[in-house]
Structure 1
Amino acid sequence: MSVRFKLYGLLLLALLTTQGLRAQESLIPDISYPYLEKLIATAKKNYPEIKLRQAQVNLARAAYHQANVSWLDAFTASYIYSPKSSLNLIQPTIFNGYQLSVSINIGQFLAKPFASRGAKEAVRVAEFQQQEYNLTLEATVKRLYFQYLAAQADLRLRSGAIVDGQAAVKQLKYSFQKGETTFQVYNEALTSLYQQGGFKVTAELSMLTAKTNLEEVLGVKLEEVK
C-alpha cells in the first residue's frame, strides 16, 4: 500500500473517530430543571391565555356571589301612607300613618337554589379548565425547552464536524501539494466540508426557530429569564 493511501486512511480514521465521539454527546447534561421551572413560571405570568383563564374564573365567582345575594329579588317591599287627618270612605283603613307590606314571588324563590347551585358548578368548571390549561402550558414549555436544547446540541455537532473537516482538508491539501495524495481525494474532502457547512446553516435555523417558539410561549426573550 502506498504512503499516500496510508496517510489518507489514517486521516479518514481520525475524522470518523472524532465524529463518532461527538455523536455520542447527550443533551441530558444540558437540562437544568430549576431553570425549566423558571421558564414555566414566566410563561404562566406572561402568556395571554393564562390571564384569560383567570378572568373566566373571576367572572364565574362573581356570578356565583351574585346568585347568592339574588335571593332578595323574590321579595318585594312597599309601603302605604295614610294621614291621620284624612278620611277614606271608599277603602276605610284601621291603621293610620306608614304601613309596610312584603310580597314574595314563589316561582323566583323556588328557582334560586338551582341558580345558586348552577353558578357554583360554573365556578368549578372554570377552575378545572384553568388547571387543565396550566398542565398543558407546562407540558408545552418543557417540550419546547427540550427541542431548543436538542437544536443546540445538533448545532454543536455540526460546528465540530466543520472544525474536523477543515483540519482534514488542510492536511490533505498539504499532502496533495507534495504529491502524496490525489486531487480526487482532496476534492472529495472539500465537497464533504461544503456539505457540512450547509448542514450547519440548517442547524442554526433549527436552533433559532426552536428559540423563537419557546420565547413565544414565555412572552419575553430567553435571555431575560435568569
Structure 2
Amino acid sequence: MNRNIVVACFLLTITLFSRQVCAQETFINTVNTAYLDKLIATAKKNYPEVKIRQSQVRAAHSNYNATKFAWLDGLTASYIYSPQNLVNQAQPTIFKGYQLAITLSIGQLLKNPSVTSAANETYKIAQYQQAEYMLTLEAQVRKFYYAYLQAMAELRLRSGAVSDAGAAVKQLKYAFQKGETTFQIYNEQLNSYYNQNSFMLQAELATWTAKTNLEELLGIKLEDIK
C-alpha cells in the first residue's frame, strides 16, 4: 500500500509539473514584429484581391481623366468647299474656297461638370475601398500569424506532455513488473499517455491549418520569407 502511495504521489508530481509548464508557456514572447511587418508587406504585394483593388483605382482614375475632356464630344467641326469659278444662282455665296464651321452643344457643355464631379467621387470611393481593404488584410495577417504562434506553442506543450507521459509509463511498467504498483495505476497512466498523443495530433493539425491560412494570404510559403 505504501508503495502505491509513493507511486501515486509520483504521478501527482508529474501532473502538477506539467500544469506548471503549461501555465508558463506563452506565445507572446515569440512575436517578431519585424517579421510580421514582412508578412504584411508580402500579403499586400501578392494577394490577388489587392491587385483587383489597384486595378479598380486605376480604372476609376482613367475614367475621371476622360470626363475632363468630355465636353469635346459636343464640339463638331465641318467644312464647305465652294470653288472659285462656280456661280450658284439659287444660293449665291460671298465666300469662295474652304469654309470651316464649328458647333458646340450647350447641353453637353453644361452637363460635363456634373459628370466630371461624379467620376471624381467614384475615383475617391475606389481609393477609400482600397485603403479599407489594406487595413482588413493587415488585420487578417496579424490574426493568422498570432493563431499560428499559438498553435505552435500548444504543439510544444503537447509534445512535452507526451514525453513526460511516456517516461512515466516506462517507470510504472518497470514498477508493475516488480510488483511495486497495481495494474490499475499503470493502466491509468497508459491511458493518459494515449490521450496526450491524441492531443498532440490535434495540435499538429491546428498548427498546419494555421500555417495554411497564413500562407494563403501571403501567396508564398513561410519558409520563403526571411
- TM-score grouping bracket, smaller chain normalisation: over 0.9
Residue 135 of structure 1 corresponds to 135
Separation in 2, partners of 1:14, 1:56:
60
Find the aligned partners of 1:84 and 1:113 in 2 and give their Cα distance: 44
Match of residue 204 from structure 1: 204
1: distance between equivalents of 2:138 and 2:170? Answer: 48
State the match for 2:156 in structure 1.
156
Match of 1:174 in 2: 174
Ranges in structure 1 where 5+ consecutive residues have no aligned partner: none
* Kept after mapping to 1: 8 A contact 2:161/2:196: yes
Secondary structure at the residue paired with 2:102?
Answer: strand
- Whichever residue aligns with residue 154 of structure 1, its letter is E
Instruction: Within 5 Å, give how 1:18-57 maps onto structure 2.
Output: 18-57=18-57
Counterpart residue number, 2:14: 14
- 2:190 corresponds in structure 1 to 190
TM-score, L = length of structure 1: 0.96
Q: 2:93: which partner in 1?
A: 93
Distance 2:10 2:195 in 1: 22
Q: CA deviation at 1:19?
A: 3.4
Task: Report the alpha carbon displacement of residue 130 of structure 1 after superposing the two structures with TM.
Answer: 0.3
Secondary structure at 2:101's aligned position in 1?
strand
What is the CA-CA distance between 1:91 and the residue it aligns to?
1.2
Give percent identity, aligned residues only. 54
Matched letter for residue 41 of structure 1: A
**Aligned counterparts of 2:169 and 2:189: Cα–Cα separation in 1:** 6
Looking at structure 1, the residues matched to 4 and 116 of structure 2 have their Cα atoms a distance apart, in angstroms, of 90
Q: Secondary structure at the match of 2:77?
A: strand
Deviation at 1:100, TM superposition (A): 1.1
Shift of 1:11: 3.6
| Cα distance per residue 1:78-103 (max 9 Å; x no partner) | 11111111111111111111111111
Residue deviations 1:135-169 (CA, integer Å, cap 9, x gap): 01001111011111111111111000001101111
- Please report the RMSD computed on the Cα atoms of aligned residues, expressed in angstroms: 1.2
Please state whether the residue corresponding to 2:69 is helix, strand or coil: helix
SS in 2 for 1:99: strand
Paired residue total = 226
Q: 1:171, CA displacement in angstroms?
A: 1.2
Tell me the amino acid that sits aligned with residue 201 of structure 1.
L
Give ranges in structure 2 of 5+ residues lacking alignment: none
Counterpart residue identity of residue 199, structure 1: F
1:124 paired to 2:118: no
Equivalents in 2 of 1:23, 1:189: separation in Å? Answer: 22
Distance 2:10 2:152 in 1: 30
CA contact (8 A) 1:81 1:96 kept: yes
